């Protein structure tokens, strides 16, 4: 079927969304930051937010690479 690469790309993005959620919940969410006294909660959520944003940026970078790989022929054309 023509354009099967786009279906493959959508499927990969779906897997990456689920995997991203898995990493966020299994690895990042359980991290507990201490040592800032009454500001513990503030730094805890702040650092987790920064890690989550970095994860999103990393995901966009990976998706961009996958895009280039899948659509190499079309993009060059």
Residue 58 is a binding residue for another protein (CB under 8 A): no
Residues 6+ apart with CB under 8 A from 33: 40, 43, 44, 47, 48
CB 20 within 8 A of CB 55: yes
Q: Which of 13, 33, 55, 66 binds another protein (CB under 8 A)?
A: 13
Residue entry with tokens 């659509």? 71
With respect to another protein, which residue has the nearer C-beta, 31 or 37? Answer: 31
Q: Which of 45, 54, 57, 72 binds another protein (CB under 8 A)?
A: 45
CB 75 within 8 A of CB 69: no
Residue 40 is a binding residue for another protein (CB under 8 A): no
With respect to another protein, which residue has the nearer C-beta, 35 or 64? Answer: 64
């Amino acid at each position: 079927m023509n354009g099967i690469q786009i279906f493959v790309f959508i499927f990969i993005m779906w897997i990456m969304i689920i995997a991203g959620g898995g990493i966020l919940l299994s690895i990042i969410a359980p991290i507990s930051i201490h040592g800032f006294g009454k500001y513990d909660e503030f730094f805890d959520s702040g650092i987790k937010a920064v890690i989550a944003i970095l994860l999103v940026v990393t995901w966009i970078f990976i998706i961009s690479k996958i895009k280039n790989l899948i659509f190499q022929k079309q993009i060059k054309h």
